[in-house]
Structure 1
Amino acid sequence: MTTNITRRALIGGGLGIAATSLLAGCSTVTRSTDVKAINKAVALPDYVPWQGGPAPVLPKTSALMPSAFRSIPDRLVPTRGRPGDGSIVRGSVPTNSPVPPSKGNNPYWQGLDEHMGVDLRLTITPNADFPNKFATQVAGDTLGDVFTINQGFSYLPQFLEAKAADLSPHLSGAGVRDYPYLANLPTASWRGTVFSGGIYGVPVPRGPLTSQVLHLRQDRFDRLGVDPGFGSLDEFLQLCRRVSDPHANRWALASVPTSILAPMLGVPNQWREDGGSLTHMYETEEYRELLDVSRRLIAEDLVHPDSITAYNGKVWLVQGSALMLSDTYSAIPGILGQATPGSGFELGLAPFVGPGGAKPKPWLGDPNNTIAAVAAGDDRRVRMLLDVLDWCASPFGTEAWTYRKFGIEGRDFEYRDGAPVLTTVGNSETALGEFPLQYFTECPLPLYYAGRPGMTDTVYRSLASWLDDGLPNPTYGLYSPTNSTKGPTVGTFATNAINDVLLGRAPVASWRDTVREWRRRGGDAVRREFEEALEARAS
């Protein structure tokens, strides 16, 4: 968790009243101000990498490197039985894709029931509406058996203790070995599921693919005769000036690429930890320099003019009105899916550079997209639901993974040159290959891009260039009560001040006053709680 204003942080403000009402009178929950109790450690699940599938085509240069594949194996690993007991399993999930047809009109979804051995009934909500929907479900106690959690909302540990199953007895240590696909999830991802000395969810892992990279339109750069490479901040700025042409409806950048610029200047990933003491990035001289560079990008008309008020970066990249886009590696399939076949669209990835010629240390993204909780219930029911989640985590190369992503051959997808390609029907029924069952849990994301084997190599080379030097957020997996309750408001205050600087309404020099006010409004309290949480986890 961070004090940045994010979609997850905004969710926290909307759930405070609902969560407080729900928890009223619960005597079993940890007090919200007991930082050490909330951050108490637990024995994490053993990490047992799955060995039953195809061998990656490229070597693992780092323990963090995802497995790389250029094609689907000819022989898929059969799924071992059906995990369910035939009962109804209700769940609540968000989606970034169009909401798929309901089960009665969706043979793919009906096939999921058959594969899983349950009657799967999902409440699917577009991400933009998910905060309000989730709040309503929390208040009405209608989240279901498995539900996606947005980790920024207020009183999360207390809510989980009151309403979710503590999975520690089933998953801690060697217990997870009863669920071999869940055991395949990395240890770092499980750290995000720990609250109050228990495991209160399963990860929705993304690994290093949550990290930001600068996507670029290689075909458009080639057409302009411009090499998109750069080796310093100055060279990057020169590149942006060279390709921007507002009169031709073309800008270098979809938005200010904060997560790309920050490592160029040596800005810490949210917090800098030194001997248990924390300094927020806002408090550093490097962050003021970042603001100045960002302001200049906008002032020189190098950034799409709607980037702050009506952002739609992926569309702009695909249309060609923006030639570079800062987004996660995990966004690549969605970007490729929006490109018109036969248009010549070619996606490239920009290099990473460090400050003043030093070795680059890009920000390492958090290991999870989110987590999913299992409703409290009797042991037998919880174990069955964990079997279902184990199926949901079946990895690349299994029948289950292939069905989840592509559906029914001949209806939802067809093989073209050996690669599964979704049909128009399949795009609808599988939600563009991202059916929101993926927000229960899924396997560690592989490097695989259907029909685009070269993209695997492109992403692999990019990750290999920096992965072991990536800079993690030292507060990942820690919980600050103040950040939970005041984070959204404090984040909005900081974001408004940042935008004032970027749009020229306030000078960069005003940032020092902003930081003093940020500290007073809650920043110092969040720091103290995270430092206390670091101490609790270390012990």
Structure 2
Amino acid sequence: MTPNAASASPGSSRRSFLASTAVATAAVAGGLPLLSACGSSESGSRDGTTSGKNAKKILPAYVASNVVTPDIPSKNGSAVGFIGKVDSATLKTSVPKKLGKGGKVTIMSPFWGSPPKDGNAYYKAMNDLIGVDVVWRNQDGATYDQKLGAVLASSDVPDMVVVPGWNMGGKIPSAIIGKFADLGPYLSGDAVKEYPNLAAIPTDAWQRCIFGGKLRGLPMPASYVGNIVPFYRKDIFDKEGYQVPTSTDEFMALAKEITNPRAKRWACGPNLKWTAFGTFGVLSGGEKALGWNLTDGKLVYRVETEEFLEALEWTRKLYASGVVHPDAWLGKNQAVDPATKFAAGEFLMYSGDMSGWWGQQASQQIHNPEFKIWGMDIFGHGGNAPQLWATQPANIFAFINKNASEAVVRDALAAANVTAAPYGTKEYMLTNYGVEGTHYNLKDGAPVKTDQGNIDVINAYVMIASPAANIARPDFPDIGRAAVEWQQRMGALTKKSTFFGMQITEPTRFTNLSNDMEQLEDDIVRGRKKISDMQAWVSDWRKKGGDGLRDWYQKLLDENGTATS
């Protein structure tokens, strides 16, 4: 098998290809300011804070899809799972007739890799299925924020523009409100039923599409269960008789037992800090608003909590005990690529994006057949279960130009209705894999991309809209089932913080307030700084604007309530 042999959900598959870039890795780590989009309160607006009863008037009606039944249903916020073999003859149809009217729709989107030639077989097939002439203006994903800012500041805005959450800093939020259409007349309430695949997108994801009090975005849904998994080498654990730890004490004892520098083996690779945050119940760092939570009647930020300091201290002890691979000492956590040394058995445990579960297993099949990566449950501390916090249920959005005619808007929505088709349908297979025989072949019931597929079928149409999160692993059904069940178990331990699901951009005066915080975190866990340095940093943070930012969030909460209120 190859790494192209199976797909995650569009929510997960986007994380998969994005996780291969430095931008995405930093985003997962919380190292970039993943600002949600709305206007700043500095202008006196309440942009992007619509919630509760007001939001219900705007949100599309939810109508679950019954076209395909997943092998593993969603539970506790997990993705649904598909582990059965793919059979072209039994694929379902979710779009029985073309909704597109033959118009032209230009789309600007970030692209990682070399864009294929216009008019390739994949683009032709997709456009024919949709009934629309989609023309792509692909832009380099690594520098997309620069291009995005320039385009939105101009009068030459394409019909559709894709905006990832991590590109929503600066003036982008206000540009979104000023440049893009209100889709409420087409999608709010029962209107969405004209586009059944869009109607099946979970409401939480649509909530994230409210910008400036209007429904403006098309979402790419994701599970709100955190996607950072503590991985371990199951093949070596089984061979050596190691038991998967269920507490911090067990983890530390096991790490010391495994580590043998003379044999070039350490227990831990990079990023265990991320797991420690879950173990000790630290509020999410994946997006600034998620780091705030109403506790005992007061808004508290994640870095102000005892849990935050405890997680850093425990991770510092790991490093100090000598159980962490030397490469992880080199710099920031996300700067270390764990794949090669993990596969070589130089370390047996590390934290990484869930996409690596399947990706690493697939990449090792030929040259390292005994290799088996597995995910352990996030463990607790001091006899307590871990306290996990929800991530956002959508973080990439597509918008439609406010000057687009109704015909263009409806053609764009026709495209989204196709790309949001669920796994197990003809539309999903074409969107994600291309034309069978040209772009992929079925091998033992799993789609495997051809060389042409790897050229043509990259991140284009999948960026328009997605179905509810799913994990599909027909080539590795054991991993597919395990990954969904991991999310289900972790989901049972997951809470939603106060601003979950809301689109919020902090006022610009607070933009750089936490810029050096993550570097200090990494210096502390590596022993270069002390816990007292973080305490001093937090005190300074409060004086420089943290307390003012707290007041700003409190006012936001007082005026709007939570997303579910």
Q: TM-score with structure 2 length normalisation?
A: 0.82
Query: How far is 1:522 from its partner?
Result: 3.0
How many Å separate the matches in 2 of 1:275 and 1:387?
Answer: 47
Query: How far is 1:306 from its partner?
Result: 4.1
* 1:214–1:379 Cα change, 3 Å: same
* 1:30–1:503 Cα change, 3 Å: closer
Specify the alignment match of 2:147 in structure 1: 133
Q: Which moved more, 1:418-427 or 1:136-145?
A: 136-145
1:465-484 pair list within 5 angstroms: 465-482=489-506
Query: How far is 1:155 from its partner?
Result: 3.8
How many Å separate the matches in 1 of 2:350 and 2:384?
Answer: 24
1:456 aligns with 2:480: yes
Specify the alignment match of 2:242 in structure 1: 227
How many Å separate the matches in 2 of 1:497 and 1:182?
Answer: 43
1:277 aligns with 2:298: yes
AA paired with 1:290? A
How many Å separate the matches in 1 of 2:61 and 2:352?
Answer: 32
1:350 aligns with 2:376: yes
Q: Which moved more, 1:44-53 or 1:528-537?
A: 528-537
8 Å CA contact 1:292, 1:508 repeated in 2? yes
Specify the alignment match of 2:351 in structure 1: 326
1:17-416 pair list within 5 angstroms: 32-34=42-44, 36-41=46-51, 42=55, 43=57, 44-53=59-68, 55-62=69-76, 64-71=77-84, 72=86, 74-78=89-93, 79-95=95-111, 98-104=113-119, 106-151=120-165, 152-208=168-224, 210-223=226-239, 225-227=240-242, 229-247=244-262, 249-269=264-284, 270-274=291-295, 277-307=298-328, 308-309=331-332, 310-318=335-343, 320-341=345-366, 343-344=368-369, 345-376=371-402, 377-416=404-443
8 Å CA contact 1:202, 1:441 repeated in 2? yes
8 Å CA contact 1:490, 1:522 repeated in 2? yes
How many Å separate the matches in 1 of 2:60 and 2:134?
Answer: 27
AA paired with 2:448? V
User: Secondary structure of 2:470's partner?
Assistant: coil
User: Secondary structure of 1:56's partner?
Assistant: coil
Query: Which of 538, 542, 549 is matched with 1:526 structurally?
Result: 549
Query: How far is 1:275 from its partner?
Result: 6.2
Give per-residue Cα distances to partners, 1:126-150, cap 9 Å, x unaligned: 5432223323333345552222223
Specify the alignment match of 2:23 in structure 1: none
Query: How far is 1:484 from its partner?
Result: 5.3
User: Secondary structure of 1:421's partner?
Assistant: strand
8 Å CA contact 2:210, 2:503 repeated in 1? no
How many Å separate the matches in 2 of 1:115 and 1:278?
Answer: 49
* 1:439–1:143 Cα change, 3 Å: farther
Specify the alignment match of 2:15 in structure 1: none
8 Å CA contact 1:89, 1:121 repeated in 2? yes
Q: How many residue pairs are counted as aligned between the two chains? A: 514
Query: How far is 1:327 from its partner?
Result: 2.7
Query: How far is 1:167 from its partner?
Result: 1.3
8 Å CA contact 2:510, 2:549 repeated in 1? no
* 1:282–1:169 Cα change, 3 Å: same
1:508 aligns with 2:531: yes
AA paired with 1:533? L
How many Å separate the matches in 2 of 1:126 and 1:348?
Answer: 33
Specify the alignment match of 1:443 in structure 2: 467
Q: TM-score with structure 1 length normalisation?
A: 0.86
How many Å separate the matches in 2 of 1:315 and 1:405?
Answer: 28
Query: How far is 1:219 from its partner?
Result: 2.5
Query: How far is 1:507 from its partner?
Result: 1.2
Give per-residue Cα distances to partners, 1:418-470, cap 9 Å, x unaligned: 22222333233323xxx332222111122211311111221132123231331
% identical aligned pairs:
25
8 Å CA contact 2:78, 2:225 repeated in 1? no
Query: How far is 1:527 from its partner?
Result: 2.2
AA paired with 2:318? L
Query: How far is 1:524 from its partner?
Result: 2.3
Give per-residue Cα distances to partners, 1:213-246, cap 9 Å, x unaligned: 21223234335x1435111111112233333445
How many Å separate the matches in 2 of 1:532 and 1:292?
Answer: 34
Query: How far is 1:399 from its partner?
Result: 0.3
Query: Which of 462, 473, 492 is matched with 2:515 structurally?
Result: 492
How many Å separate the matches in 2 of 1:221 and 1:428?
Answer: 38
User: Secondary structure of 2:245's partner?
Assistant: coil
8 Å CA contact 2:79, 2:487 repeated in 1? no
* 1:534–1:454 Cα change, 3 Å: same
8 Å CA contact 1:77, 1:398 repeated in 2? yes
8 Å CA contact 2:49, 2:212 repeated in 1? yes
8 Å CA contact 1:92, 1:122 repeated in 2? yes
Q: Which runs of 5+ in 2 are unaligned?
A: 1-26, 285-290
How many Å separate the matches in 2 of 1:261 and 1:293?
Answer: 7
Task: Between the two structures, name the one with larger relative contact order (CA 8 Å, sep ≥ 6).
Answer: 2
Query: How far is 1:320 from its partner?
Result: 4.3
Query: How far is 1:514 from its partner?
Result: 0.3
Q: Which runs of 5+ in 1 are unaligned?
A: 20-28
How many Å separate the matches in 2 of 1:314 and 1:141?
Answer: 45
Give per-residue Cα distances to partners, 1:284-310, cap 9 Å, x unaligned: 112111111222223344334444353
Query: How far is 1:394 from its partner?
Result: 0.7
* 1:421–1:147 Cα change, 3 Å: same
Query: How far is 1:350 from its partner?
Result: 0.7
AA paired with 1:280? Y
Query: How far is 1:258 from its partner?
Result: 2.8
How many Å separate the matches in 1 of 2:541 and 2:340?
Answer: 34
* 1:210–1:268 Cα change, 3 Å: closer
AA paired with 1:395? P
Query: How far is 1:76 from its partner?
Result: 1.1
* 1:353–1:386 Cα change, 3 Å: same
Specify the alignment match of 1:421 in structure 2: 448
8 Å CA contact 1:5, 1:491 repeated in 2? no
How many Å separate the matches in 2 of 1:142 and 1:243?
Answer: 59
